[in-house]
A and B are shown apart, each in its own frame.
Chain A
Amino acid sequence: MPRSLLDLSPRLRPALFCAYLATQLAVLIGAQKSPDRVFGFQMFNASSKLKISLFRKVQRRGHSRLVAIRADGTWESKDRSGTRHSYRWQDRVHYGPLSTLGQFVHASYGLDAQLFRLQFALRDVVQHLPADDETLALIAEVDTLENGREGAHVRLQADRP
């Protein structure tokens, strides 16, 4: 039987054993501090829900104001030359729990996880509006249901760089 490279010598076995377990424990404990508990083996979801409503902060006639983005995630905006362009939230955000707007959806891995990810999603979308000369920031107003109870109303914002 030819030896495999992965047949460890007796001296290396304890090293692999200890290194693996130490890494696993460190990752497991570290994961508890992360909002989405990635690598934390939290196998079953909570039953929380969230409803995302999106707004744009726009500059018009020297004043900034909030404009609601339609529930289908679309909006139109002008570029510097005045040409209108269409945008859609879901063109960038394919991720299930965050791609549905205006209705309650299940918050996989809990509310903290989805709010954490939503902040990054806002930042991502606002950085990918090349011809949108009006939008100064994207704002998400989030209603939450925490395991059936009415939860906090959360406002997240990502400014245009």
Chain B
Amino acid sequence: MSDSSRSDGTSSRFFSEERDAWLLGVLRLAISALLFFNGLRLILELQQGGYFANYFHMPILPEHWLPGEAGYGFLLGLQALAALCAFVGIFPREALLLGSTLGIYFLLCDRLQFHNNRYALLLLALLLAFSPCDRSFLLVRGRSHTLPHEERVAPTFARRLFQIQVSLVYLGSAGGKLLDADWRGGQVLFLRFAQAPQFWAEHGVPLPAWAIALVTSTWFASLAAKTAILSELFIALGMWLPKTRRLSLWLGVVFHISIELSARVELFSWLMIASYLAFVVPELRERRFEFAAGHARAEWLARLVRWFDWCARFDQRPLSQASPDGPSWFVSNREGQRASGTLGLARLAECIPLLFPLWLPLALVAKLSAKPR
């Protein structure tokens, strides 16, 4: 086969790739909720601070393209309504397109309102509109909110574009820091960390002397800066490789939790964590959770899996033959390898979004405590 025909085949496969769109419905719920809150904040700003064009503003568009005060209020309401429609499943894709386009228009109306997290949200909502995210969680349909599997399988090339956009956010951010000598040298973080002792003391948690010495040292800030840049590069690229995906997503979640705790970044952390759903393998229930019926702890765990398995990773079933001395539950991975105890918990945490931050510590404990054969 010639190189050109091989690349034609690859590109054709790329654009005609059809996968289960169930998870895209979950992603739509998350993105449209964030889009709604973003719109709600603009409405509150309008109510409290007044119409932005009545005072100093910096339009990127020509001034005469800006809406009037009443028109702006109307468009904000329309954007919130579109986000709500996308959430409940009334023309969800068209609603996402409308809501995101209006949001980008608002950013172009006044660059003072521009924030990278808002822009990223709008781009991701725009791209999601081109994916078949309307085949599950159409909440207005009540119990039949999700289509059967055959109807959910659809072309998902826009999911790839969504993934590329997520990587671009990290690459842009890491690139900016890498090119800035103060950032990569640690000076920027040093100044931020220097405020930490006062911040924690004001919040009633005075830091011990060793912690103050650590966070106010230049070597620590320098190390933290390099770690942050490398982390972002690893998140941007690692998500594309099956072998590194899990670790890069875990690092991303921890990275965003730490940002959320230490800085005010509006919806950014939530947005990026939600966007990781696009990197989850679309096929459902390829793993198995088995539990002994009548065993209190196993049934409690089964309930937890049922409630929080938002990515539908597990096919849940009772153990056919539970040994009275053996484990009361098992988790099987895609390869069919069964595990219980700490390794089993690690495999649960790997797949359950709320427990995902615990995956690596649990997996490490399981690895270290495994008996050598």
Interface residues of A (CB under 8 A from B): 1, 4-8, 10, 13-14, 16-17, 20-21, 24, 28, 36-44, 46-47, 91-95, 98, 117, 120-121, 124-125, 146-148
Does B188 contact A14, Cβ atoms closer than 8 Å? Answer: no
Does B172 contact A42, Cβ atoms closer than 8 Å? Answer: yes
Does A17 contact B176, Cβ atoms closer than 8 Å? Answer: no
Indicate whether A7 sits within 8 Å of B132 (C-beta atoms), given known contacts A93-B56, A147-B182. yes
Indicate whether A21 sits within 8 Å of B164 (C-beta atoms), given known contacts A6-B97, A10-B16, A91-B55. yes
Most chain B Cβ neighbours within 10 Å, of A1, A43, A147: A43
B165 to chain A, nearest CB (A): 7
Residues of chain A within 8 A of B56, CB atoms compared: 92-95, 98, 120-121, 124-125
> Number of B interface residues, CB 8 Å?
52
Indicate whether A40 sits within 8 Å of B172 (C-beta atoms), given known contacts A8-B130, A10-B15. yes
- Given contacts A17-B161, A37-B176, A148-B190, 6 further A-B pairs with CB under 8 A are A5-B94, A14-B15, A16-B161, A41-B116, A46-B180, A148-B191
Interface residues of B (CB under 8 A from A): 11, 15-16, 49, 55-56, 58, 60, 91, 93-94, 97, 111-112, 114, 116-117, 119-120, 123, 127, 129-130, 132, 134-135, 147, 151, 154-155, 157-158, 161, 164-165, 168-169, 172-173, 176-177, 180, 182-183, 187-188, 190-192, 263, 265, 268
Interface of B is mostly: helix
Residues of chain A within 8 A of B155, CB atoms compared: 7, 10, 13
Interface of A is mostly: loop
CA distance A93 to B173 in the complex (A): 29
Does B111 contact A4, Cβ atoms closer than 8 Å? Answer: no
